[in-house]
């Protein structure tokens, strides 16, 4: 606290403007600075309400403790944590994560006005199953940056007032992930998985009376997400019950970044159909034998066309809330081989070693598994599935048996077989 010489007026410790007070406190703030600083409580027994004690909010300390890591370093840390491939997507997400942290620090530590900063970052990840969309989010925000974050399966939600989880309880989960600290939760990350399953068929009359029904799990949820993805304030229930009852808290979403993930099956074909039309306005027919693969590569020009998303069944306004659309590639042979050796086989070997067995898988078997996974078009998930099926029987027979030995995985008659040697 400081006084102007010869007067009883005190000077605000922050903006240095005068404020009248007879309070004997060390640090004071005028009303304008109080609003900027937040987390301020009134002093008991003061004569003037304009004098407040400044208590630094917990969220400021938490933001200050966040590591500010360069995008290039984040990229490398993802590699060290076991993430493979997706270089283009990984660079974009690494930069997004850095900018998110830097923006939080400028707001909470440097007290910068949000209007002077770029808006929050909402990204849409588009790519085939098993290509590492949600895995990247898990590694980045759980193990590297440690921000409050959640991954939700959006297919379980419905429009407010209908059977199914209320969309606002997405933010309830985020508050719980932040240990009940709603201010800390307002700095977090929400990953919406299976986002493509929200697509509605409202533009195609597929059954009688469709126009008189409500699509409460598709279009209804899209409408609910509109306001959430925008920078607004949402009344969030503090429990998972029906949200019309119970205690609620106002949670601003101005600093919450939303990441949506989806495979968007059928999108490629729809984009192909709409890419060229005849002069009569007729949509061209697919080429003979045209069939969209499961593991497809989306081009930038395809995913930047909002009209295709609208035909797919999404509100253009909702897509407009996303800062960036990021395509994820189907994993190639080299990447799958690296994932198999570093992430899949090593875990199986550790498990078998704990049971008293050495699991031996040679290069020809590795190439065989990768080849089969590519044919299945299920990405990295296929690797684990193939090896799990192969080792299932021998694990059943020998786990917790007290036996020891070496287990070999080989190829016989184009099939994987296992042999055990004591």
The model's confidence at residue 34, banded by pLDDT at 50, 70 and 90, is low
pTM of the model: 0.76
pLDDT tens-digit map of 117-163: 999 999 999 998 889 999 999 999 999 998 999 999 998 887 655 55
Q: What is the pLDDT of residue 62?
A: 93
Q: Which residue has 């019309």 as its token pair?
A: 244
Q: Which residues contact 52 (CB under 8 A, 6 or more apart)?
A: 28, 29, 34, 40, 41, 42, 43
Judged against a pLDDT cut of 80, whether residue 277 lies above it is answered with no
The model's confidence at residue 182, banded by pLDDT at 50, 70 and 90, is very high
Q: Would you say 191 and 151 are in contact if contact means Cβ atoms under 8 Å apart?
A: yes
Q: Would you say 321 and 195 are in contact if contact means Cβ atoms under 8 Å apart?
A: no
Q: Percentage of the chain with pLDDT > 90?
A: 52
Q: Domain boundaries in the chain? A: 2-55, 61-327, 333-421
Helix, strand, coil content of the chain in percent (nearest 5):
40, 20, 40
Instruction: Indicate the range of 139-148, 223-232, 297-306, 307-316 predicted with least confidence.
Output: 297-306
pLDDT tens-digit map of 249-272: 999 999 999 999 998 888 888 887
CATH class of the domain defined by 333-421 = mainly alpha
Determine the length of the chain: 422
**Mean pLDDT, residues 73-95 taken together:** 94
Q: How many CB atoms lie within 10 A of CB 320?
A: 11
Instruction: Indicate the range of 79-83, 130-134, 161-165, 325-329 predicted with least confidence.
Output: 161-165
What topology does CATH give the domain 61-327?
A: Rossmann fold (3.40.50)
User: Concatenated DSSP letters for 80-136?
Assistant: HTT--S-HHHHHHHHHHHHHHHHHHHHHHTS---GGGSPPP--EEEE--TTSSHHHH
């Amino acid at each position: 606290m400081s006084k102007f010489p010869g007067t009883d007026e005190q000077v605000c410790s922050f903006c240095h403007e005068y404020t009248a007070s007879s309070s004997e406190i060390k640090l004071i703030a005028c009303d304008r600075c109080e609003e900027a600083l937040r987390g301020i409580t009134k002093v008991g027994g003061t004569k003037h309400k304009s004098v407040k004690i400044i208590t630094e909010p917990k969220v400021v300390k938490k933001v200050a403790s966040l590591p500010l890591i360069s995008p290039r370093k984040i990229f490398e840390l993802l590699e060290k944590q076991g993430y493979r491939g997706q270089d283009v997507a990984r660079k974009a997400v690494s930069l997004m994560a850095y900018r998110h942290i830097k923006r939080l620090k400028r707001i909470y530590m440097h007290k910068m006005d949000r209007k002077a900063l770029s808006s929050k970052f909402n990204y849409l990840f588009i790519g085939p199953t098993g290509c590492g969309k949600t895995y990247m989010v898990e590694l980045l925000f759980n193990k590297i940056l440690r921000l409050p974050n959640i991954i939700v399966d959006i297919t379980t939600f419905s429009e407010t007032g209908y059977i199914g989880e209320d969309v606002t309880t997405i933010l309830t989960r985020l508050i719980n992930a932040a240990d009940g600290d709603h201010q800390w939760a307002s700095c977090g990350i929400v990953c919406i998985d299976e986002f493509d399953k929200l697509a509605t068929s409202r533009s195609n009359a597929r059954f009688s009376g469709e126009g008189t029904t409500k699509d409460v799990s598709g279009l209804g949820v899209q409408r609910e997400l509109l306001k959430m993805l925008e920078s607004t304030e949402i009344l969030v229930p503090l429990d998972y019950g029906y949200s019309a009852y119970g205690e609620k808290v106002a949670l601003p979403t101005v600093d919450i970044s939303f990441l949506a993930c989806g495979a968007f099956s059928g999108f490629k074909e729809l984009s192909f159909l709409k890419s060229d039309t005849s002069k009569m306005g007729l949509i061209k027919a697919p080429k003979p034998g045209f069939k969209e693969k499961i593991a497809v590569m989306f081009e930038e020009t395809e995913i930047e066309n909002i009209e295709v998303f609208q035909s797919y069944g999404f509100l253009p306004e909702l897509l407009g809330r996303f800062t960036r659309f990021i395509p994820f590639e189907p994993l190639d042979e080299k990447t799958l081989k690296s994932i198999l050796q570093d992430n899949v086989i090593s875990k199986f070997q550790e498990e078998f070693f704990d049971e008293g067995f050495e699991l031996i898988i040679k290069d020809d078997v590795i190439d065989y598994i990768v080849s089969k996974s590519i044919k299945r078009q299920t990405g990295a998930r296929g690797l684990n599935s193939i090896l799990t099926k192969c080792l299932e029987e021998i694990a059943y027979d020998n786990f917790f048996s007290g036996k020891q030995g070496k287990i070999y995985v080989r190829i016989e008659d184009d099939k994987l077989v296992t042999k055990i040697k004591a």
